[in-house]
C-alpha cells in the first residue's frame, strides 16, 4: 500500500499575500531530501500564491504521526526563516505552539489517501489560493456525478456503478455519505450550500477511494480570521475512474468562490499554471493549479502543469471579465460575503462599535 500526503500551509509571503518566496520552497525541499528514501519515498514541493505545498509519498498510512510531525517541522523551520526575513504573515498558518500528534487542527491543510497502486496510477493534485474547501464542491460533483461533464459515467462500464460522496458539515463537525446517481438531489441540497458543507472524500461504489480534499477551516480552529483555508485536493484518474480530461473539465468554468480580498469576497476561480499562481488584483482573483503525476512504486513521475495550456485561456479571460463585473459592487453583497460568513472575519469587531447605538424602530 502507498500513501500520498498533500500537506500545505501559508508560512509567509511577499509582498503581502502574493507569493511564497523560492527560498522557502528550496528550504522545504532540502528538509524533505534529508528523509527521502527513509521516512518518505518521494516528494514534490511547490506553491500556489502564498501557500506552500508538500506532496509526499510513503508507506505509513494516513494520519501518521511521523509524517505529520515531519510536515510540521519542515513548515516550522521554514517559518523561522520567514520570520527572520520579515515576510508577510510569517508563520500565518501554524496556529499551534507545538506539534501534537496530528497536523489536522493545528492550522495546515491536509489531503491524504492510502491505496494499492494500480497498474497505471494517474493522479492530479489541485491546489488553491484565496478560497476555501467548499470551492471543490462544484467541480468534484461534476467530475464524479455529472454525465454532461464525464461521459465515462455513461459509456465506461466501470464507472456506471456510480460514486459515494462523504460530505462534512464543517460547522457541526458531522459527516454523511450520499450515493450518486440515486441521491444526487440530496447531495446537491447539501453541497450547494458552500457556507457549511464540503466534500471530503469520494469513493467508487466498489470502495475504491477516488478523491480527497483538505477541509480544515482556519477560522474555526483559530476562532477568528487568520487568512483563508486555501484548500488542496487529490484526484485519481483513468482506468475505471474519470479520465484526466474529465477531471480538468469543470475548471474551464471559472465558478464564483468565497475568499479573495481579506477572505471576504466572492470571486471567480481562475485556473492558472504554477508560475502564474500569483494573486495580485484585489489579492486575487482566487487561483487553482493542477499538477499531474504518475506513480511508480510511490515514486512521482511529473509534474505536468495541467492548466499551463492554451485550452484554459478562455476560462482565464472569462474569469477576468467576471472580476471586472463583480468588483463594481465594491463593499456590497453579493460581492462581499454574507453576514453569517463574515462572522468569521473582522466584521464582528466593526459591528461591536455600533451595537449600543441601535434603537428599536417604532
Chain residues binding ligand 13P by CB under 6 A are 10, 17, 49-50, 89, 92, 129-130, 156, 227-228, 230, 238-239, 243, 245, 261-263, 283
Partner that binds at residue 239, options ligand 13P, Mg ion, none, CB closer than 5 to 8 Å by kind: ligand 13P
Name which of 21, 84, 25, 85 is nearest 55 in CA terms: 25
As a whole number of Å, the end-to-end CA separation of the chain is 69
> Closest separation between CB of residue 200 and Mg ion, Å?
20
> Based on CB atoms, which residue is closest to Mg ion, 250 or 284?
284
Phi/psi class of residue 310: alpha, beta or left (left: φ > 0; alpha: ψ in -120 to 50)? alpha
> Based on CB atoms, which residue is closest to ligand 13P, 156 or 343?
156
Residue 228 is among the residues annotated as catalytic for this protein? yes
x-or-dash pattern for Mg ion, window 273-312, by CB under 5 A?
----------------------------------------
> Closest separation between CB of residue 228 and ligand 13P, Å?
4
Whole-angstrom distance, CA of residue 331 vs CA of residue 285: 16
| List 50, 146, 216, 229, residue binding Mg ion (CB under 5 A) | 50
Whole-angstrom distance, CA of residue 330 vs CA of residue 341: 17
Residue 43 is among the residues annotated as catalytic for this protein? no
Contacts (Cβ under 8 Å, ≥6 apart) of 3: 57, 58, 59, 60, 61, 62, 64, 67, 112, 113, 114
Contacts (Cβ under 8 Å, ≥6 apart) of 204: 158, 159, 161, 162, 163, 164, 210, 240, 241
Name which of 310, 300, 275 is nearest 289 in CA terms: 275
10 binding Mg ion? (CB under 5 A)? yes
Q: What are phi and psi of 296, to 5 degrees?
A: -135, 100
Residue 86 is among the residues annotated as catalytic for this protein? no
Q: Using CB under 5 A, which of the segments 14-22, 149-157, 185-193, 248-256 binds Mg ion? A: 14-22
Task: Write the CA distances from 237 to 123, 124, 150, integer angstroms.
Answer: 6, 7, 12
Name which of 294, 289, 286, 323 is nearest 309 in CA terms: 289
> Closest separation between CB of residue 264 and ligand 13P, Å?
8
| List 42, 57, 89, 225, residue binding Mg ion (CB under 5 A) | 89
Instruction: Single out the catalytic residue among 225, 229, 230, 283.
Output: 225
| List 42, 112, 121, 129, residue binding Mg ion (CB under 5 A) | 129
> Based on CB atoms, which residue is closest to ligand 13P, 63 or 195?
195
Partner that binds at residue 303, options ligand 13P, Mg ion, none, CB closer than 5 to 8 Å by kind: none
| List 42, 121, 216, 230, residue binding Mg ion (CB under 5 A) | 230
Partner that binds at residue 262, options ligand 13P, Mg ion, none, CB closer than 5 to 8 Å by kind: ligand 13P
> Based on CB atoms, which residue is closest to ligand 13P, 89 or 250?
89
Whole-angstrom distance, CA of residue 192 vs CA of residue 210: 21
Q: Angle 226-229-231 (CA atoms, 0-180°, nearest 5)?
A: 165
Q: Which residues bind Mg ion (CB under 5 A)?
A: 10, 17, 49-51, 89, 129, 227, 230
Q: Catalytic residue positions?
A: 10, 225, 228
Amino acid at each position: 500500500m502507498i500513501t500520498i500526503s498533500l500537506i500545505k500551509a501559508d508560512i509567509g509571503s511577499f509582498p503581502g499575500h502574493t507569493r511564497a518566496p523560492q527560498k522557502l520552497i528550496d528550504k522545504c525541499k532540502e528538509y524533505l531530501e534529508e528523509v527521502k528514501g527513509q521516512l518518505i519515498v518521494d516528494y514534490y514541493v511547490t506553491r500556489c500564491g502564498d501557500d506552500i505545498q508538500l506532496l509526499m509519498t510513503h508507506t505509513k498510512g494516513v494520519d501518521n504521526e511521523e509524517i505529520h510531525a515531519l510536515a510540521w517541522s519542515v513548515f516550522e523551520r521554514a517559518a523561522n526563516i520567514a520570520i527572520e526575513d520579515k515576510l508577510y504573515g510569517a508563520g500565518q498558518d501554524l496556529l499551534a505552539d507545538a506539534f501534537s500528534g496530528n497536523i489536522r487542527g493545528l492550522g495546515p491543510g491536509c489531503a491524504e489517501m492510502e491505496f494499492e497502486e494500480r497498474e497505471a496510477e494517474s493522479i492530479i493534485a489541485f491546489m488553491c489560493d484565496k478560497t476555501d474547501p467548499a470551492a471543490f464542491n462544484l467541480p468534484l460533483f461534476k467530475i464524479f456525478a455529472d454525465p454532461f461533464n464525464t461521459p465515462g459515467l455513461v459509456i465506461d462500464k466501470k464507472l456506471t456503478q456510480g460514486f459515494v460522496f462523504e460530505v462534512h458539515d464543517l460547522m457541526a463537525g458531522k459527516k454523511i455519505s450520499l450515493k450518486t446517481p440515486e441521491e444526487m438531489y440530496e447531495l446537491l441540497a447539501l453541497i450547494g450550500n458552500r457556507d457549511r458543507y464540503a466534500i471530503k472524500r469520494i469513493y467508487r461504489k466498489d470502495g475504491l477511494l477516488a478523491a480527497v480534499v483538505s477541509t480544515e477551516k482556519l477560522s474555526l480552529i483559530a476562532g477568528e480570521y487568520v487568512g483563508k483555508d486555501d484548500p488542496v485536493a487529490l484526484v485519481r484518474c483513468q482506468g475505471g475512474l474519470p479520465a484526466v480530461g474529465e477531471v480538468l473539465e469543470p475548471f474551464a468554468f471559472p465558478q464564483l468562490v468565497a475568499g479573495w480580498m481579506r477572505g471576504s469576497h466572492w470571486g471567480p476561480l481562475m485556473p492558472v499554471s504554477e508560475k502564474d499562481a500569483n494573486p495580485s488584483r484585489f489579492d486575487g482573483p482566487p487561483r487553482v493549479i493542477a499538477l499531474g503525476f504518475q506513480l511508480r512504486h510511490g515514486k512521482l513521475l511529473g509534474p505536468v502543469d495541467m492548466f499551463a495550456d492554451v485550452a484554459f485561456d478562455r476560462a482565464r479571460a472569462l474569469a477576468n471579465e467576471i472580476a471586472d463585473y463583480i468588483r463594481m459592487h465594491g463593499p456590497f453583497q453579493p460581492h462581499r460575503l454574507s453576514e453569517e460568513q463574515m462572522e468569521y472575519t473582522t466584521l464582528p469587531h466593526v459591528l461591536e462599535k455600533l451595537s449600543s447605538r441601535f434603537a428599536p424602530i417604532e
